[in-house]
Chain A
Amino acid sequence: SQQGEEDPQALSIQEGENATMNCSYKTSINNLQWYRQNSGRGLVHLILIRSNEREKHSGRLRVTLDTSKKSSSLLITASRAADTASYFCATRASNTGKLIFGQGTTLQVKP
């Protein structure tokens, strides 16, 4: 069963705006990862945040993790048309060690 639930399912913004995507999960985790998928391509790893971390940055990406609420958010600042893609959160469960993916958020950035 899917552990990660993402919100919103689809997001459309103008270039230069910020995009925020949220992910909720159910069980205890070791880490949470965000991946990006361009249309017709495989997934590409963006950023990993460990369960004992609360915030992490990588370039224009900012990820937060709230283990008490079992939720994470991905913020993309100053979005570009090239950021148009689907974004997936994936949680590594503490008990199984497996990586479980959410359903994804489809982001469209209009030029």
Chain B
Amino acid sequence: NAGVTQTPKFRVLKTGQSMTLLCAQDMNHEYMYWYRQDPGMGLRLIHYSVGEGTTAKGEVPDGYNVSRLKKQNFLLGLESAAPSQTSVYFCASSRLETYNEQFFGPGTRLTVL
């Protein structure tokens, strides 16, 4: 049982390049989330999904797109990376019920030059 995994762990992009971050979970969770974490700030929700084929915007969705084609996978895409997107990105998953914890992946450190 690997929990929540993220690939890649590190990435450096040039401004304007695109990339996709992959999140996978093997806990059969319905909900999945993408957060970004910046120095001195907590986690901010980018997008989330309440089930296969559905996605919704979080607090800071601009510049990102997501897809949930399979229940176990949640992809975060950057179409045209900007230096402001330099951050650490965390994926998380949880069961459907309200009183459930979120399980986090180890994070992806992204630098945009």
**Is chain B's interface secondary structure helix, strand, loop, or mixed overall?**
loop
Check if A16 is an interface residue, CB within 8 A of chain B.
no
Question: Among the listed A30, A33, A44, A101, which residue makes an inter-chain contact with B42, where contact means beta carbons less than 8 Å apart?
Answer: A101
Give the shortest distance, in Å, between A50 (CB) and chain B (any CB): 7
Tell me the B1-56 residues at the A interface (CB within 8 Å). 4, 35, 40-45, 48
Interface size class of B (residues with CB under 8 A): 20 to 34
**Is chain A's interface secondary structure helix, strand, loop, or mixed overall?**
strand
Which residues of chain A are within 8 angstroms of B101 by Cβ–Cβ distance?
A: 33, 45, 48
The 3 closest A-B pairs by CB, nearest first: A42-B104, A101-B42, A45-B101
Number of interface residues of A (CB under 8 A): 25
Known: A30-B99, A35-B104. 9 other contacts (CB 8 A): A2-B41, A31-B98, A40-B107, A42-B4, A48-B99, A50-B99, A88-B42, A97-B98, A98-B58
Contact status B99-A43, CB under 8 Å: no
Contact status A99-B102, CB under 8 Å: yes
Give the shortest distance, in Å, between B45 (CB) and chain A (any CB): 6
Check if B106 is an interface residue, CB within 8 A of chain A.
yes
Contact status A44-B104, CB under 8 Å: yes
Contact status A42-B90, CB under 8 Å: yes
A57 to B105, CA, bound (A): 26
Which residues of chain A are within 8 angstroms of B45 by Cβ–Cβ distance?
A: 98-100
Closest B residue to A6 using CB positions: B42
The interface bits of chain A over 33-57 (1 if a CB of B lies within 8 angstroms of the residue's CB, else 0) are 1010000111111001010000000
Give the shortest distance, in Å, between B88 (CB) and chain A (any CB): 9
Closest B residue to A46 using CB positions: B101
Give the shortest distance, in Å, between B12 (CB) and chain A (any CB): 17
Question: Among the listed A43, A97, A100, A102, which residue makes an inter-chain contact with B104, where contact means beta carbons less than 8 Å apart?
Answer: A43
Give the shortest distance, in Å, between A109 (CB) and chain B (any CB): 21
